Structure 1
Amino acid sequence: MISKLKYILLLCIVGISMSSCKKYLTLEPQDGITRQDFWQTKEQVSSAVYGCYASLLAPPLVENLFLWGELRADMLQTGVRATANDFNIINVNIQPTNPITNWSAVYQTINNCNTVIDLAPQVLQTDNTFKQRDLNGYVGEALALRSLMYFYLVRTFREVPLKIKATTSDEDNFQLPKSSEAEVLTQIINDLKLAEEYCFTTYGNRDHDKGRITKYAVQAMLADVYLWKDDYENSIIYCDKVINSGQFGLVEGSSWFSTVFYEGGSNESIFEFYFNQNRLNPFYSMFAESTKRFTAALRVTEEVYTIDLFDIENKDIRGDGAAARFNEGTIWKYHGVNSGTGRSPSASFAHWIVYRYPDILLMKAEALNQLGQVDEALKLIKIVRDRANALEATETFETDPADPDYTSAINTPDLAKFILDERAREFAYEGKRWYDLLRNAKRDNYDQRSLLFDVVIVTASPENQQSAVAKLQDDNSHYLPIYFTELEANKQLIQNPFYVKTK
């Protein structure tokens, strides 16, 4: 615990030292990190890398990752503190003036990573104790973090400026056009493959292995990126690298919630943002009883997890008292100590989990299903469901080959929906739901577009439902607009097409 506290305190101190004024994409030079006289020792490189991690803890960043991944999906319901901006996103009435579309905090992290990638190599010339292996490790971490940020951006906005050089002076060019989705994804994959080569498998203690990028975190990202690209063979290759490492497993039993979400850094964890008492996450006030901005949607109880009416003790461990408290609708993953005890405001330091081991299992199941390997996909789903004690009411298909009802005569779209539903149960409120829906909807030339229609039918207000469905017919509406201040600052930027048409 002492090592974790020291580590996070260092992140916070470095992060505070890097605060600065706003500029296009927040790419301005950073006092204390880009000055040429800073890049002299390996300790300074280490501090700069920790600064990249610290920037992940900025409240606007992680709040946006939650909102981008959940607000347009079907697991949230608005509470008493919901804003007009929240309602506009839910009702597919999104304008470029909506601050939820502001990407500046993400680009701040990207520029911090660019700075390490560009300037750390020069320290080899000034510090003879700094070795190439150590440099490669730090650069690998920065490449992977930058890739993660771009992966969030490309799934949310589709086309974004691709800035891969550090902003180190006022003479740098801030006028950047958007790059295509294909260009951004290609850059991400190339960077992650280099990061896989560079990054370490371990840093020697659990908190660093879970709170910093390892080779396994890079492989998880590559599996996810390839799945987004419908490249199922490569997605399976990288899932298998994580699985075959033997470094991860599923946490089982009644301690699952407190181990994974309260303590953090569990055996399931592959990579997570480490909040702490000195750097709280923004979720307490967002979900607290008296200030709820959001609650769990009613369908979470009724459809996602369901209830065993004949045995109330028989329940999915991921549902009541984990994802949410069903009797009051409180979103619990960031609020609970255990299934019955909540955190205080000063203890709002639940980690933001980017990848857990069940994500790897279900990504592989999804890819296998798309390749027609139904039996193998069902085996992986069964592993996840058995650990969770998933209820029979949510079992669309029998997953046990020994059961008389088992059959592999299942069509791919139906099993894809089963996997999508299982991901909803496993990753409720972890910022994945919208991306899961969109990935499935757009597959095979939007063969499953109805998934998006189903969302707004249950989330949009009655007077907005027809309009929302009509808007979702346009593929461009599935991505957010560029925030208006970015367009004002950068004349090379062109607004996402759907929002030009509806302006």
Structure 2
Amino acid sequence: MKTIQKIILVSATIMSGVCVSSCSSFFEVTPSDNIVEGDFYKNREDLNASAVGMYESLAQEAHKFLLWGDARADMVTAGQADPDPYINEFVVNNVTTDNPYTNYAGIYRTIARCNRQMEKVYKVKQLDSKIADRDANAYYGEALLLRAICYYQLLRTYAKFPIITTDFAEQITYVNSAGETIKEPTLSLSSEEIRSIYRMPANQQEVWTLVYNDVLTALGMIPVNYQWNGETLSANERYGRVSQPLAATYAAEIALWLGQYQVASSFCDLIIQNVSHNLGTSGTWFNQFSASNAAGHSMFALGYQYTKSFETNRLQEFTSSVREDGGRYYLKPVARMVEPLFKDDVSLTDADIRAQASYKVVDGDTVIWKYIGLDNVSSMRAPYASSASWQIMRSADAYLIKALADLQLNNYASAFNFINMVRTARGLVILDKLTFPYTNKAIMDQLIFDERAREFAFEGKRWYDLMLRSKLNGKNMLADAVANKYPAAQREAIRARLQNEINWYIPIDPVKWQ
């Protein structure tokens, strides 16, 4: 890890042509344009305000996560008869570097704000005697975990991207050719000197290691039961900020990707046994999208607050077919893919709450309902007034990660048990061990990933689930799954393109999106 800790990096490509002035926009970390930093970072109130700013920049990227994780996968296609060309590039899996939705600057603004928070926390503690050691650690761990979440998103989306583990708004730290650690004021360096200093990580494994270790470190620093500065967070803050259960869930999912199945299974137990998190009931499932918070269901969500002006939640814009309400209908479900998925051969066809609440037909248009509906029946949100959150991680994640990990450990009974827990909580009947072939690994693998598809439909996870399934099975299962959503004449070309795993990643011109 010493090597990784020295990698305080920006890629040569992303810094190409970057002048000092452009750094202030790309990595702008000041909590408010009206705040002079010299007057900030003096007490815990400043730290809390700065923490809120970390989430604000990430929330603005939710519509991109819908494109990255769903538009490319098998359950989503273009809604418009004459599709927006940039949106359609994701739908047809032929994204170009000119596409503005490949812009990851918003994620790096969040990363920069996290780095700034970590570098300021213990300095502020020295200025404010009311900040206890555990509270300073909590603020540090919060920023560390949120940064790890950002890199985890980038790691599965882009083949190459810069790793930045320090705040270089004031100075840059690097290791020179003699092996010496050098610190230089940012303003003293030209863009050419900056490009010569930084390099890309050696490989993806280095980033996996960095992310995993950061999540584990944060797990030991973030307080239990949302106690911050001796106070319990409000419901909105509780689900809108990272937490210790969230860290454990991420540790479980990353361990699953890394092949550490017993570790993944054990981490899931921390959430499953936590009384603050549960699967909820069928009747409350849609609350996580229609209510201001989702007790029990949600673990971490990016919230949205709209003004009274003509401003719209971009999730509403992307999914609504009602033009006068601000909808652009960029994306819609692939009906022939989702309808069989949500039809259960054991339960009644309309028993699954997720089938009622994930997608609907509105005035002849099949729409993604989660971000435009007020209930699971027919009531739509008012024009320009969707406050639907983007769910990053939910309690159900832990149950389904547990099922996958236990399946890889050949613990079929446990995997089957956790699948049934999710099914019954969503209104479906329990599958019977006496009649269901739960010891057939291939059938169970299909069952779990189908359950994940129903549970997290249109929440930016499907593409990455297909990547994970391919990894767990040791063969490219993504190409066949995605190709099936296209007309028959197009399938072979799409399948051939996606057989090359480099095409699983979004291309980017980092100079364009600096």
Q: TM-score range by the shorter chain?
A: 0.7 to 0.9
Q: Which runs of 5+ in 2 are unaligned?
A: 1-19, 171-185, 323-327
Superimposed CA distance per residue, residues 284-328 of structure 1 (whole angstroms, 9 cap, x where no aligned partner) = 12111233111111134431102789976x4311013x0001463
- What does residue 49 of structure 2 align with? 47
- What does residue 91 of structure 1 align with? 92
Distance 1:129 1:301, change over 3 A: closer
Helix, strand or coil for the counterpart of 1:95? coil
- Shift of the alpha carbon at 1:257? 1.4
- What does residue 360 of structure 1 align with? 398
- What does residue 371 of structure 1 align with? 409
- The answer on 1:282 being equivalent to 2:319 is no
Supply the distance in 1 between the matched residues of 2:480 and 2:78 (Cα, whole angstroms).
19
Kept in 2: contact 1:160–1:178 (CA 8 A): yes
Kept in 2: contact 1:274–1:352 (CA 8 A): yes
Partner of residue 228 from structure 1, selected from 246, 249, 257: 257
- Shift of the alpha carbon at 1:352? 0.9
Supply the distance in 2 between the matched residues of 1:367 and 1:29 (Cα, whole angstroms).
38
Instruction: Specify the code of the residue in structure 2 equivalent to 1:457.
Output: N
Supply the distance in 2 between the matched residues of 1:32 and 1:115 (Cα, whole angstroms).
18
Instruction: Specify the code of the residue in structure 2 equivalent to 1:181.
Output: Q
- What does residue 471 of structure 1 align with? 497
TM-score, normalised relative to structure 2:
0.81
Helix, strand or coil for the counterpart of 2:374? coil
- What does residue 360 of structure 2 align with? 325
- Shift of the alpha carbon at 1:105? 0.7
Helix, strand or coil for the counterpart of 1:345? coil
- The answer on 1:241 being equivalent to 2:241 is no
Worse-superposed segment, 214-223 or 270-279: 270-279
Helix, strand or coil for the counterpart of 1:143? helix
Distance 1:310 1:155, change over 3 A: closer
Worse-superposed segment, 76-85 or 234-243: 76-85
- What does residue 167 of structure 1 align with? 168
- Shift of the alpha carbon at 1:236? 1.0
Partner of residue 371 from structure 2, selected from 334, 338, 341: 334
Helix, strand or coil for the counterpart of 2:398? helix
Helix, strand or coil for the counterpart of 2:392? strand
Distance 1:457 1:114, change over 3 A: same
Distance 1:272 1:228, change over 3 A: same
Kept in 2: contact 1:270–1:356 (CA 8 A): yes
- Shift of the alpha carbon at 1:254? 3.1
Distance 1:42 1:253, change over 3 A: closer
- Shift of the alpha carbon at 1:458? 1.9
Worse-superposed segment, 196-205 or 64-73: 196-205
Q: Which runs of 5+ in 1 are unaligned?
A: 1-19, 392-397, 490-503
- What does residue 178 of structure 1 align with? 200
- What does residue 501 of structure 1 align with? none
Helix, strand or coil for the counterpart of 2:122? helix
Kept in 2: contact 1:98–1:483 (CA 8 A): no
Distance 1:434 1:399, change over 3 A: same
Superimposed CA distance per residue, residues 17-42 of structure 1 (whole angstroms, 9 cap, x where no aligned partner) = xxx98549922564677834422222
Partner of residue 297 from structure 1, selected from 334, 359, 370: 334
- What does residue 136 of structure 2 align with? 135
- What does residue 6 of structure 2 align with? none
Supply the distance in 2 between the matched residues of 1:232 and 1:280 (Cα, whole angstroms).
42
Alignment of 1:121-160 (within 5 A): 121-160=122-161
- What does residue 386 of structure 2 align with? 348
Helix, strand or coil for the counterpart of 1:157? coil
Q: How many residues align?
A: 453
Superimposed CA distance per residue, residues 397-449 of structure 1 (whole angstroms, 9 cap, x where no aligned partner) = x8333xx3144431x2331121111100111011111100111113354x2x1
Alignment of 1:97-108 (within 5 A): 97-108=98-109
- The answer on 1:483 being equivalent to 2:506 is no
- The answer on 1:429 being equivalent to 2:468 is no
Instruction: Specify the code of the residue in structure 1 equivalent to 2:330.
Output: R
- The answer on 1:272 being equivalent to 2:272 is no
Instruction: Specify the code of the residue in structure 1 equivalent to 2:223.
Output: F
- What does residue 453 of structure 1 align with? 480
Instruction: Specify the code of the residue in structure 1 equivalent to 2:366.
Output: G
Helix, strand or coil for the counterpart of 2:278? coil
Kept in 1: contact 2:256–2:264 (CA 8 A): yes
Report the identity percentage. Answer: 27
Supply the distance in 2 between the matched residues of 1:280 and 1:415 (Cα, whole angstroms).
41
Supply the distance in 1 between the matched residues of 2:51 and 2:136 (Cα, whole angstroms).
11
Instruction: Specify the code of the residue in structure 2 equivalent to 1:429.
Output: F
Kept in 1: contact 2:479–2:499 (CA 8 A): no
Supply the distance in 2 between the matched residues of 1:415 and 1:83 (Cα, whole angstroms).
38
- Shift of the alpha carbon at 1:190? 1.4
Partner of residue 380 from structure 1, selected from 418, 436, 451: 418
Supply the distance in 2 between the matched residues of 1:463 and 1:33 (Cα, whole angstroms).
58
